[in-house]
Structure 1
Amino acid sequence: MTISDWLMIAAVFLGPIVSVRLTRYLDDKREIRERKLNIFKTLMATRAYNVSWAHVEALNRIDLEFNKNHKKEKEVIDAWKEYLDLLSDSDVPNDQWVTKRVELLVELLHKMAKVLRYDFDKTHIKNSSYSPRVHSQTEVEQNTLRKELIEVLEGLRSLPMEIKNWPKSNNES
């Protein structure tokens, strides 16, 4: 047998194996990117609703999906750590905290956009989300309702009552 015969036999046996391994490798890479994209899309979609469950869950998945050994992805993880530090800091005055929170979230999203090859600048990320006023108003009302209901249930607040019609007693007939 010649070398070309051996090469042909090797190609026949190794071709399908290499093909399957290459397909699996590409599928794994695509799946990893899709998970990162899912986090990014969720955070972009909920950036005006930072207390939504989806937003919080996406933030908590950053450590799982982004690789600290990859330079650009490490920048995402570092930005997430800085953002998380602020979220946990109750010593910062509220007005400064809110401003800094937005700034750090925008920075995080901008770094994620670069890793995922989206061309968003920080101004676009910060100013291009839509949040109807009625949503924030509803959220404030729900929080107030919850707080006051808890106070009633804990006995810290009473329900105001006014009796409009007294039932007639048997003597008044």
Structure 2
Amino acid sequence: MTPEFWITIAAIVLGPIIAVFLAQQLQKSEQEKQKRLFVFRTLMTTRRMVLSPDRVQALNLIEVEFSSYPKVMGKFRELLAVYNDVARWKSDDESVRKKVLEDVDDKTAELLGQIGKTLGYKLNDLDLLRGGYAPEAFGLLEQQQAEIREFLAGLNRGDRLLPVAVVDYRHSEKLLEQARDAQVLLEAAQKEQDAS
């Protein structure tokens, strides 16, 4: 048997095996890219919604999907450092809390820019920072939910009072006047409590 015969037999036997192996590797590579794209897309769609559960989930996936990308991991650690700076988040100074939110926006834009580069997108950090859409109502909703949580936590701690009134429905005009007076008193008490 000639060497050409053995080469032909090897090509017939090994060719399909190599082709299947290469197809599996390409499929695995494509699946990994799709996972990274899912993280990127989720972060892009929620970049204006800091408290979105989808955003938190995507951030938690970065360590898994981008572990072999040191530049992405560096930007992710910088963002985590801002999130983990509890003193700034709990500060009584409004300007400090505003600055920490600006830092989150900045670090998020840098992270998204770096992830985009690894995925082949050419993105400007400034466009990422100022881009996106989140209706003002989302911010208002988050603020109201935070106020409700704080009120309920205050009730639980005993720091807040729940106003209760006895109502006499027989005299509706008098009832409305009493309700207005009670509202004025409650608002004054709340302002006084907030000031102290």
| TM above 0.5 | yes
Partner deviation per Cα, 1:77-110 (whole Å, 9 max, x = no partner): 0111111112111344323222222111111110
Match of residue 136 from structure 1: 139
Match of residue 110 from structure 1: 113
- Output the amino acid matched with 2:37: L
TM-score after normalising by structure 2: 0.77
- Identity, in percent, stands at 29
Deviation (angstroms), 1:157: 2.2
Matches within 5 A, 1:1-173: 1-68=1-68, 73-92=69-88, 93-165=96-168
What 5-or-longer segments of structure 1 have no aligned partner?
A: 168-173
Alpha-carbon distance change, 67 to 90 in structure 1, aligned in 2, over 3 angstroms: closer
Alpha-carbon distance between aligned partners in 1 of 2:166 and 2:67, rounded to the nearest angstrom: 65
Partner deviation per Cα, 1:18-65 (whole Å, 9 max, x = no partner): 111001100111111111111111111100012211111211111111
Deviation (angstroms), 1:153: 3.5
SS at match of 2:149: helix
**Structure 1: 4+ residue segments shifted above 4 A:** none
Deviation (angstroms), 1:140: 0.9
Moved more, 76-85 or 141-150: 141-150
What 5-or-longer segments of structure 2 have no aligned partner?
A: 89-95, 171-196
TM-score after normalising by structure 1: 0.86
Q: What CA RMSD, in Å, does the superposition of the two structures yield over aligned residues?
A: 1.7
Q: If each structure's helix is expressed as a fraction of its own residues, which one has the higher value?
A: 2
The alignment of Structure 1 onto Structure 2 pairs a total of residues equal to: 163
